[in-house]
Chain A
């Protein structure tokens, strides 16, 4: 279990580093969202604070929790109702991309 966490954190770090190499600042909060996540903002808000009342606030949430949530959508463990919307969002994301987005949203204040 512990090992898996470390692993995902490591890949997450890696992805985050790769992403931020293109970014202006090394402060994660001011780093633009990776291009493959630009769609997320239309619902979750530019800074992870949604304008829609039934979309969860994910800014500043624990990255591990967010990454696991995204994996559960992808695997179909979270399904039905609005989870189907998220399934569409993550179906073409790799695990590295999932971790990078989880890191990014987690870093928003």
Chain B
């Protein structure tokens, strides 16, 4: 059976089905199930926030109880039906995407993690910057300001097939509220695992959630992914992921071209995560108003009407979407250039605006109607970094080299060196405040993410950003520059900064940051 045939078959079927393809609902009941509670953590099954059976479901959600979220998480093989055909992916908890985690600042995440994948094949590369050991994994809490050591957000761990590991992640009381996420982060297998869909949203409650207009609104979680299966079964090679223009079928919460319902006059709050591995995802909804309220989880100064929303892999955006005249609308990525590569348009979802009194929506369902006016609340500890505070400035140069013997003869570099787990590239002290200038010497953009401490974006290509947004992942434009400022607070230890085009990370674009006590 060739790839082409499978693809033709299922895409054809999806196109024929009037409701779009609700691929995953075949395996889980579409009925609204009751919330179940365990010792410390409750589970809310995947469901439509409007209670409509063919509406996009929010992923299953695990919430903390009394300051703790105690759950078993595992990485294993998950049977799914993609638009290209049935396949098996490496996923968390048998779900694409993984369950959403919802906690409060001050809570403790206690995740009993199990690697349920089989042994790695014996013939693995030994060089660190060649993709390897796709069945070895770990967990990273992207955007969390927590300790990078021990059994917290420690990405240097190798959790081997069959191994178990207890993560205990203590989230500080003053942690910024917002939309974060988790994904595996083992150098060598991170691109393969995330490209297969191993990722989920992680929400820290507060800030924007308490704005009355937002509180009234129905909340959706949208996880954008483009899972890449193996050519014939399980993905065991980086090759299908490697080309930036590799054909990708973009999904939302595991669904291909899902329906998303909004009532006429309704304002919905969407938390959107770009959990894809490589392609950027700028998008628009022709005919509907989109207001950005937060980026990478952090509130913007005020709600802002935008034509197009920009997401690079790793970014999150919080938006308010307003239902206008009843009818069908298209959520789409327009044609665009990612550096020198032209990428095709994507039809991601169909938005249906339905009458305000549609009988399918149960009484008592929240119904927001307002866009908040005036300033949005900010996260109190994310205070502007002044010139006077800066203790050190650094230059970070992003590059690429042709080197024989590496994957596709390619090594990505930072300050002229590919990743070396033993080298400390940046050494600084707890309490230091630094300004970094990122310089991209390649003709492709690189979304750069740093662990543990968020940064404040000062300028892009020399143009100051008046919002000075706090982010954790910023696209450094092709042949361009970014200046950001960051404070090394609360947590000493070693962690990483890297490109979130994950095949770039796996082939060298990562450095170690060592914050001394």
Contact = CB atoms under 8 A, between A and B. Distances in A.
B441 A89 contact: yes
Interface string B458-494: 0101110000000000000111110000000000000
Interface residues of A, number: 17
Contact of B480 (A39, A85, A89): A85
Interface string A47-69: 00001111100000000000000
A6 interface: no
A4 interface: no
A84 B481 contact: yes
B479 A88 contact: no
A43 B478 CA distance: 9
Query: Chain B contact residues (Cβ within 8 angstroms of A): what range?
Result: 10 to 19
B442 A82 contact: no
B481 A85 contact: yes
Given A43-B479, A52-B478, A55-B479, A85 B462 contact: no
B437 interface: yes
A73 B479 CA distance: 15
Interface string B379-410: 00000000000000000010000000000000
A48 to B, nearest CB: 14
B439 A81 contact: no
A50 to B, nearest CB: 8
A39 B459 CA distance: 26
A51 B443 contact: yes
Interface in A74-89: 80-85, 87-89
Residue among B337, B439, B443, B477 with the highest chain A CB neighbour number at 10 A: B443
Given A51-B340, A52-B443, A88-B397, A81 B481 contact: yes
Given A85-B441, A89-B441, A52 B461 contact: no
B84 interface: no
A42 interface: yes
A94 to B, nearest CB: 19
B440 interface: yes
A42 B463 CA distance: 24
Contacts of A51: 340, 443
Interface string B423-445: 00000000000000101111100
Interface string A27-48: 0000000000001001100000
A82 B443 contact: no
A25 to B, nearest CB: 26
Given A52-B339, A54-B479, A81 B443 contact: no
Contact of A80 (B337, B462, B478): B462
Contacts of B437: 84
Contacts of A84: 437, 439, 462, 481
Given A42-B443, A52-B340, A82 B480 contact: yes
B460 to A, nearest CB: 9
Given A42-B443, A51-B443, A85 B340 contact: no
A89 B479 CA distance: 11
A52 B337 CA distance: 9
B62 to A, nearest CB: 44
A80 B481 CA distance: 9
A107 B481 CA distance: 30
Contacts of A39: 441
A41 to B, nearest CB: 10
Contacts of A53: 337
Nearest to A39: B441
Contacts of B462: 80-84
A42 B439 contact: no
A55 B477 CA distance: 12
Contacts of A81: 459, 461-463, 480-481
A82 B340 contact: no
Nearest to B437: A84
B442 A42 contact: yes
Nearest to A51: B340
Contacts of B440: 85
Interface string B302-340: 000000000000000000000000000000000001011
Contact of B461 (A43, A82, A88, A89): A82
Contacts of A43: 443, 478-479
A42 B337 CA distance: 15
Contact of A88 (B340, B439, B477): B439
Nearest to A41: B443
Interface in A86-105: 87-89
Interface of A: 39, 42-43, 51-55, 80-85, 87-89
| 7 closest Cβ pairs, A-B complex | A81-B462, A80-B462, A51-B340, A81-B461, A84-B439, A84-B481, A43-B443
23 contacts: A43-B478, A43-B479, A51-B443, A52-B339, A52-B478, A54-B477, A54-B479, A54-B480, A55-B443, A81-B463, A81-B480, A81-B481, A82-B480, A82-B481, A84-B462, A84-B481, A85-B440, A85-B441, A85-B479, A85-B480, A87-B439, A88-B397, A88-B439
